[in-house]
Amino acid sequence: MDKLVVEKLDLYYKDFKALKNININIMEKEIVAFIGPSGCGKSTLLKTLNRMNDLVEGCRITGHVTLDGKDIYKDMEINMLRKRVGMVFQKPNPFPMSIYDNIAYGPRTHGVRGKAKLDDIIEKSLRDAAIWDEVKDRLKKSALGLSGGQQQRLCIARALAVQPEVLLMDEPTSALDPISTSKIEDLVVELKKDYTIIIVTHNMQQAARISDKTAFFLLGEVVEYNDTEKLFSMPMDKRTEDYITGRFG
């Protein structure tokens, strides 16, 4: 079933056309990777999907993005959209508060009250993000004391705590060491059972390792969108081939 559909999407930053006629269907409980050189528009498209681009001055779009058939720009309240479509940022950004409060922030925002209920959500989220064992004895300590990799998994747990349907990940491992990276990759594959995941990555091996489908972006266009296996083994477009074989980018 199609979870997210992007149709004829153009995006402008003032006069600059950053995305050109994007058409992508994303199925439920799939991992989709966006790859491409810097400045190709992959992060821009990702931020369109939860409307974080609204924060950018002079940004406007034409075309449609639908979540479960509903237009996210017209038929949906923005905070509800962001609850359903969670996001993990490139740089781990835990709030400067305790680990517990970091995770509790989202549920509290959406009206969850009562310590027992919150405790449950927090434990479940931290377990799902594979960080429970590392932090269970220091929930009341500041989240800023964690290592970079732990902080990123905490941010994933924080996103999971509001029970999203889709998880957007913007180069979530680019600031991390190889061990933390592999932990996050395992986690993403694990999360596929319950969530639809879209991950932007610079790392083609990462895309090949974890994603079901891959979209290759170049200069604001989707050059090729296909099953990951096919895209990497026999790319249809010459430009895709050049990129994945390392001839440019």
Beta bridge partners of 2: 27
**Binding residue for other proteins, selected from 4, 45, 65, 159, defined by CB under 8 A:** 159
List 89, 132, 221, 242, residue binding other proteins (CB under 8 A): 89
- 224 neighbors 25 (Cβ within 8 angstroms): no
Residue 194 or 242 having the CB closest to other proteins: 194
Determine the interface stretch with other proteins among 34-42, 59-67, 86-94, 184-192 (rule: CB under 8 A).
86-94
Residue 231 buriedness (CB in 10 A; 0-12 / 13-18 / 19+): buried
Residue 231 · residue 216 · CB < 8 Å: yes
Backbone angles phi, psi at 41, to 5 degrees: 105, 5
Q: Contact, 18 vs 195, CB < 8 A?
A: no
- Contacts with other proteins in 94-133 (CB under 8 A)? 94-97, 105-106, 109-110
Q: Taking CB under 8 A as the criterion, which residues in 31-60 touch other proteins?
A: 50, 52, 55
Q: Does residue number 87 form part of the binding site for other proteins (CB under 8 A)? A: yes
152 binds other proteins (CB under 8 A): no
Amino acid at 157: A
Q: Does 238 bind other proteins (CB under 8 A)?
A: no
* Cβ proximity to other proteins, 62 vs 109, nearer residue: 109
Nearest to 166 by CA among 41, 39, 49: 49
Specify the amino acid at residue 245. T
162 counts as binding other proteins under rule CB under 8 A? yes
Give the binding site for other proteins (CB under 8 A).
Answer: 50, 52, 55, 79-84, 86-87, 89, 91, 93-97, 105-106, 109-110, 155, 158-159, 162
